[in-house]
Chain A
Amino acid sequence: DAGVIQSPRHEVTEMGQEVTLRCKPISGHDYLFWYRQTMMRGLELLIYFNNNVPIDDSGMPEDRFSAKMPNASFSTLKIQPSEPRDSAVYFCASSLSGVANEKLFFGSGTQLSVL
């Protein structure tokens, strides 16, 4: 398997524009997670899905952020409208099950810069 695949690797956009980040989890993994990494706050969990259903979105910072998982092999994280403070690296991760000791597999991340 190619692992968790995220696109794009880098995104530069202007304030106010819509940004869509994409993730393809490892085939067969039931759980998908979106994380955001910044210098100030470190790594934060934004939202996670189980079998395509959002389970916990308490980490989503504002209504400008939304995430979907239309099927088992694809998820998107959308920011509309984007702001400079959204600049960060966004990671997607997947795991085979939600058991706490299950290993998470991370994608390479999308580096977002909002000017």
Chain B
Amino acid sequence: AQSVSQHNHHVILSEAASLELGCNYSYGGTVNLFWYVQYPGQHLQLLLKYFSGDPLVKGIKGFEAEFIKSKFSFNLRKPSVQWSDTAEYFCAVSQWGGKLIFGQGTELSVKP
């Protein structure tokens, strides 16, 4: 069965530190990949997405993610985090029909 794994459940960083959140999936066919973010008290928002083309995808708020097909990975990165990046981050993979499979989520806490 298709699955998505996020290895870090909780990450704590200081402001200005670099961020990388891991995401691996277990689907061998063509995939579309997403990162969603949920800020405290808010609903899920799309951060960035990959469908095809350049495997390095840039999203909002300085985030980017790299699709590495050979590693079945789609890691999220940001060179310098801010306190306002404190949130929960979800990686997701989609297949035909719009069905999204989500990872368990990674809680990011940024200390000022």
Contacts and interface: CB of A to CB of B under 8 A. Distances in A.
A98 interface: yes
B94 A43 contact: no
B89 to A, nearest CB: 11
A100 B43 contact: no
A97 interface: yes
Interface in A68-115: 91, 93, 95, 97-104, 106-109
A97 B45 CA distance: 18
Interface string B40-53: 00111110010100
A33 B99 CA distance: 8
B102 A42 contact: yes
Interface residues of B, number: 24
Contact of B98 (A31, A37, A41, A107): A31
B102 A44 contact: yes
Nearest to A3: B43
Interface residues of A, number: 28
Contacts of B32: 100-101
Main SS of chain B's interface residues?
loop
A103 B112 CA distance: 33
A45 B100 contact: yes
B17 to A, nearest CB: 24
B44 A100 contact: no
Interface in A38-55: 41-45, 48, 50, 55
Given A42-B90, A43-B90, A104 B98 contact: yes
22 contacts: A33-B98, A37-B105, A42-B6, A42-B90, A42-B103, A43-B90, A43-B102, A43-B104, A45-B101, A48-B98, A55-B97, A56-B97, A56-B99, A95-B98, A100-B32, A100-B96, A100-B98, A101-B94, A102-B98, A103-B49, A106-B36, A106-B44
